[in-house]
Every structure is written in structure tokens, then in C-alpha cells.
Chain A
């Protein structure tokens, strides 16, 4: 049997579409299982944005019910963007840097696993987490802050926040190839927090100084939050939807390109 095997021409077996789908689904399933079983992971990515939302949207607000519900609605979009950015950055950058640096990704790459399945799984995981964050924020807003969004608008908000995993995930991917396993959480926080502030996620963008507003245009979270604000009908922005979409598509391609370059540089290095 083995003698035949050696003289056989090497050819990768063709996977049927069904096998491919099953493979991708399994990779995603276990990525999600792996993550949600780490309590600190779910806690830091879901609980923090919810906590900030409760703090800034409900606790620290004046008692005027009209303003309160408006502010809470505004913060749904910006804190939602903040939350899904964290989920994607940590889900991609930190887990990729760890799995690269600790040899796990290398073991997977020695198997016939398609690399696309690995990254798709991380994307699915980030999207599910993003969806959970968006729904939890909405639930809090409806219950405690008199948020009254039409179901269609709420659905649009959730949709935008879930899709935000694509540009943020691409960003996390590039960061995951830049950062070393031990420094990855620090690197992500170093980027995450200033980026959130400068994009108007903490203080509304129209209250930021002019030069910061200029800077924000070059930042992906700004464009996501503006789309989210449009969804809840609270956008004051001068750009069209397509401008934001084009900017986000550009960022995504830029980060993916950077990730590919860094991945190539990785080849042959000690890291897998």
C-alpha cells in the first residue's frame, strides 16, 4: 500500500462544495466555542461597552426625559461602534498574535486546513459577538433609557454593527501580524482607545475641535459610527453613505494588503 503511495503523483484531492462548507462551518463553530468558554474574553468584549453605555447614557445624564432618550439613542450608535471595534480587534489581533507566536497556527498550517477557513472563522466569531453587543445595547436602551427606535431602524443599526466586523477585522488581522504574542493586548489597547476618542465615539464628533474632526475622516471607526448614526436618524454629517462605504472599503483593502505583506515576511521566520 505504501509503495503505491510513494509513486503516485501528488495531487491535492478536490473537496466537494459540501465538504468545504462543512469544513468552514466547523472551523467557525469551534472558534466561537473556544472564545465564549473564556469568561474573561466575553466579559471584556461585551461587558465593557455595556458598562460605558449605562454609565454615559443613563447614569450621568440630566433628568429631562427628552434629552435623555436622544442622548441614549446617539450613544447606541457610538458605543455600539466602540464595542464592535473591540470585539473585532481583540478577536483578530490578539488571538492571531497568540496563535502565531505560540506555534498553534503553525501546526494548523502543517495540515491541509485552508487558511481562508481560519480567517473566516475569526470573522464569524467577531460578527456574532458584534451582534450580541448591538442587541444587548438596544435592550438596555429600550428598557432603561426610553429609546424608541422603529424596528426597521434598530435592525439597520444591528446590521451595520455586525458588518463593521469586516473593516475592523481586517485591521485586527494586520495588527495580529505586527504584534508579538505578549505585547498584542497592549498594542491593541494603545490603538483602540485613542482611535475611539478621535473618531467621536466618546465625545460626539461635532463637539470635538476642528482639527480632530479632520483627523477623524481618516479613521475607520468614524465612518462606521456615522453610518450607525444615520441608521438611528441622528446623523449630522455632511458626507453621503457612499462616501463612507468607499472609505471603509478602502481601509479594508489597505489592511488586508498590509496583512498579506506581513504574512509573506513571516514566511521562513520563526513565527508561523
Chain B
């Protein structure tokens, strides 16, 4: 059965969606945390859920983990309701925990979580993957912020899960610790794990993700590859009709991407003015000119600020 389904491309085989939501809505009191969210998580990919604080990222992760019930809509993980116990054996989670019991040692935390799974990874391997070998006999309370995040990361991989949820794994980490965490996350994807990562750093999503979903006020406002999302985040959209060949348009300075439908073009550009000036110079018959913002300003105001303040690497 697996051989048969594996050869079918994603587009026609919903079975290869590891997780999906349909029309998912959740409110807390008067706050709508999620509004008609439709998303898929495909096997073996790293999907980044990008959005400012309060966008609904954590709520979505909680629902995918079966820790909260939807008001309406549907969530499936491995084809089943995530509130069922069976799912938990195949899933690992790194959540934002305000306080972890501080008097237990690193290896004790790992030993305990490993005991919940029938086929856990060996403790030595978990320590190695998470880079905690030197720290295994330290109490949690004695660890630095970056080291604490690594312990939570280690806990998430104890059961050797097929699917991992990493909720803001690098929040509060310095550049070096963040790099280390990125390396560890990449190693997981290389091992064939499916990962859903939430972040409010555009550069983090860019560095790690195969695909990005942008969440704002509980709705998905953009979806695409990191290149597409970045282009939308920082620039403008220029639409027009022109006889110019696509190669020539691609060559214009400041054009990030080009989409063409016969003579109708849609460009992602950094700044509209120089590109429009250049286009009009080359084709004075250019028509239907339209310049719009990417529509993500509000979502990205916070994102790009974070991006900049973290040195953007």
C-alpha cells in the first residue's frame, strides 16, 4: 500500500498530508484566535507558521496536538482526530513552557519522557542529537536559556516521532544558540521527519522552511516558498500588460520575481518606482499598469522589525 501511494504526487493524494485543517475556527471569549484556517502539512516537509505575537500560531499548534478542541471545523493528524491517544505516540512537541521543574537533571527529564513511548530513542542518542552530552547531570534550574531550549527540544524527540511541532523553538536565544538549534532542526528534516515550526522571525522561516504560512489575526494571509514570501514581505506588486519578452523583464534591476500569463505580467519588486520607470522607458505602449502593496504590511511590520533587530544574519 505504501509503495502505491508513495508514487502518487501530493496534489492528487491527500493521504500524504500528515496533518490538515478545514475551516478551523476557535474563539477564546471575545477573541477569535483562529478564523477559517485551512492548511496542510505534507510528509517530510518543514512548514513554518510565521506571524507576529497573538496571530494564533500557538493556538493552531495546540489544536493540531489535540490539546484544545475546535469551535467549528476539522483537524486531522495522521488521518485521525488529534485528541485520540494513538496520535501522541507518533508526535513530538516542543511547546513554550513558562517553568520546567528545575530540580530534575537533564538526563532525568529525558529518561522520564522516554518511558512514555514504547520504542524511544536511546538516551545517549537523544543527548547527542540535542547537544546535551556535557550537561546531562546538570539540574534544569542551572541551565542557560539556550540550554533549556535544547532540553525541551530533546524532550520532543524522545519518542522518535514522525511529526514534530516546534512552537517558537528559538525565542529568546542569542545568535549562536539559534544557529545551533537550526542545525538540529535541519538534521531532523534530513532524517525524514515532518516538522511544523512556528516563529515570528522571517529570517528563521527563510533559513529552515520548505514552505511558509503567514498567519495574521487568526487567518492565513499568505502561503508560499520562502522566496515568494520574502518578496511579498519587503516589496510591491506591479501588474501590467506588455509585449516585452519575459527574459527582458526578469533582467530589470529590482525585480524579485515574475509571473506571466501571455502578455499579462505580475512582478514582485522591491520598490515600484524605478522598475515602473524602466518598464515605461522600454515599452511606451505598456497598459493596465497597477501597483499594489503586497498586502502583508501589517503582518510584516512586526516581522521585519524583528528581522532587523536580530541582525538578520
Contacts of B67 in A (CB 8 A): 106, 109-110, 272
Choice from A11, A30, A101 contacting B112 with Cβ under 8 Å: A30
| B287 interfacial contact with A, CB 8 Å | no
Q: Which of B1-41 contact A (CB under 8 A)?
A: 1-2, 5-6, 15-16, 18, 28
Across the interface, name the chain B residue whose C-beta is closest to A111.
Answer: B116
**Residues of A with C-beta under 8 A to B51:** none
Most chain B beta-carbon contacts within 10 A, residue among A6, A7, A33, A106: A6
For B65-95 the 0/1 string (1 means CB < 8 A from A) is 1111100000000111000111111110101
Residues of chain A within 8 A (CB-CB) of B79 are 6, 10
Could you tell me the distance in whole angstroms from the C-beta of B259 to the nearest C-beta in chain A? Answer: 32
Residue of B nearest to A37 (CB): B103
Among all A-B residue pairs, the 9 with the closest Cβ atoms: A37-B103, A4-B2, A102-B98, A102-B99, A110-B93, A103-B97, A112-B88, A12-B86, A3-B6
Q: Is B223 in contact with chain A by the CB < 8 A criterion?
A: no
Shortest beta-carbon distance from A35 to chain B in Å: 8
Residue A237 is within 8 A (CB to CB) of chain B in the complex: no
Q: Are B104 and A111 in contact (CB under 8 A)?
A: no
Q: Within 8 Å CB of A1, what residues of B?
A: 192
Q: Tell me how far the C-beta of A150 lies from the nearest C-beta in chain B, rounded to whole angstroms.
A: 39
How many residue pairs bridge A and B at CB < 8 Å? 122
Question: Which residues of A have CB within 8 Å of B95?
Answer: 103, 106-107, 110
Whether A112 touches B116, Cβ cut-off 8 Å, given contacts A2-B44, A7-B5, is yes
**Is residue B206 within 8 Å, beta carbon to beta carbon, of the partner chain?**
no
Of A11, A34, A98, the contact of B99 (CB 8 Å cutoff): A98
Contact indicator B89/A268 (Cβ below 8 Å): no
Measured as residues with beta carbon below 8 angstroms from the partner, the interface class of chain A is: 35 or more
With a CB–CB cut-off of 8 A, which chain A residues contact B115? 22-23, 26-27
Q: How long is the Cα–Cα vector from A4 to B165 in the complex, in angstroms?
A: 20
CB<8 Å pairs between A and B, sample of 10: A6-B5, A6-B18, A10-B86, A11-B86, A12-B89, A34-B104, A37-B104, A103-B97, A107-B97, A110-B88
Q: Chain A residues with Cβ under 8 A from B62's Cβ?
A: 106
> Other CB < 8 Å A-B pairs besides A6-B15, A110-B67, 18 of them?
A2-B193, A3-B16, A6-B162, A10-B78, A10-B84, A13-B118, A27-B112, A30-B104, A33-B103, A33-B104, A99-B101, A102-B98, A103-B98, A107-B97, A110-B88, A110-B95, A267-B68, A268-B69
Q: Does A253 contact B (CB under 8 A)?
A: no
Chain B neighbourhood of A269, CB < 8 A: 28, 68
Q: Chain A residue with minimal CB distance to B89? A: A112
Q: Which residue of B lies closest to A110 (CB)?
A: B93
Bitwise, B156-190 to A at CB < 8 A (1) or not (0) is: 00110010010000000000000000000000000
**A17 part of interface (Cβ distance < 8 Å):** no
Residues on the B chain within 8 Å of A33, using CB: 103-104, 108
| Chain B residues within 8 Å of A15, by CB | 118
Is B100's CB within 8 Å of the partner chain A?
A: yes
Q: Does A38 contact B (CB under 8 A)?
A: yes
A19: Cβ under 8 A from any B Cβ: yes
Q: Are B103 and A104 in contact (CB under 8 A)?
A: no
A37 to B102, CA, bound (A): 9
The answer to whether the Cβ of B117 comes within 8 Å of any Cβ in the partner chain is yes
A270 in contact (CB, < 8 A): yes
Contact partner, B194, options A2, A111, A272, Cβ 8 Å: A2
Give A105-135 interface residues, CB cut-off 8 Å to B.
Answer: 106-107, 109-113
Residues of A within 8 A of B85 (CB): 12, 112
A103 in complex: contacting residue of B68, B84, B96, CB < 8 Å: B96
Find out whether the CB atom of A111 lies under 8 angstroms from the CB atom of B97. Answer: no
* Cross-chain contact B93 with A112 (CB below 8 angstroms): no
Q: Chain A residues with Cβ under 8 A from B194's Cβ?
A: 2
B155 interface residue, CB < 8 Å from A? Answer: yes
**Cα(A104)–Cα(B148), bound, Å:** 13
Q: Inside 8 A of B93's CB, which chain A residues have their CB?
A: 107, 110-111
Please tell me if the beta carbons of B28 and A270 are within 8 angstroms of each other in the complex: yes
User: What is the distance, in angstroms, from A30's C-beta to the closest C-beta of chain B?
Assistant: 5
Residues of B within 8 A of A98 (CB): 99
Contact A10 B104 (CB under 8 A): no
Query: B43–A34 contact, CB under 8 A?
Result: no
Q: How far is the CB of B110 from chain A (nearest CB, A)?
A: 11
